[in-house]
Amino acid sequence: MLFHVEMTVKIPHDLPAEKADAIKAAEKAYAQDLMRQGKWVHIWRVAGRYANVSIFDVESVDELHALLSALPLFPFMDIVVTPLARHPSAL
């Protein structure tokens, strides 16, 4: 199942820089592992914002929820998920 996922990150300004850096490093490692597994298929930065647009390819909504809620930055994110279906004009 394909999902379009928009993530906006809102790290509190009073979070110590060392803690924020550690969370970001863990996030990068986890995300890249999901990419190597083929579950996080694409990621694009949204210009001018601390946000991304991503495509996930997973077995179920429950799997997507588990992957997203395990993101180290999850507590600081606003996430919008849109399920995708094949377009009849696609090659």
- The sheet with strand 51-57 has its strands ordered as 40-45, 51-57, 2-9, 77-84
What are the residue boundaries of the structural domains of the chain, listed by start?
Answer: 2-84
Q: State the pTM of this model.
A: 0.92
pLDDT at 21: 97
Q: Which residue has the tokens 């507590």?
A: 75
Q: Determine the 3-state secondary structure of 26 from DSSP.
A: helix
Q: List, for residues 31-80, the tens digit of each pLDDT value.
A: 999 999 999 999 999 999 999 999 999 999 999 999 999 999 999 999 99
Cβ atoms of 55 and 3 closer than 8 Å: yes
Task: Give the list of residues 6+ apart from residue 84 with CB closer than 8 angstroms, or none.
Answer: 2, 3, 4, 55
For residues 33 and 59, give the distance between their C-alpha atoms in angstroms, rounded to a whole number: 17
- Whether the CA torsion 58, 63, 38, 44 is positive or negative: it is positive
Q: Which CATH architecture has domain 2-84?
A: 2-Layer Sandwich (3.30)
pLDDT at 30: 98
For residues 41 and 38, give the distance between their C-alpha atoms in angstroms, rounded to a whole number: 6
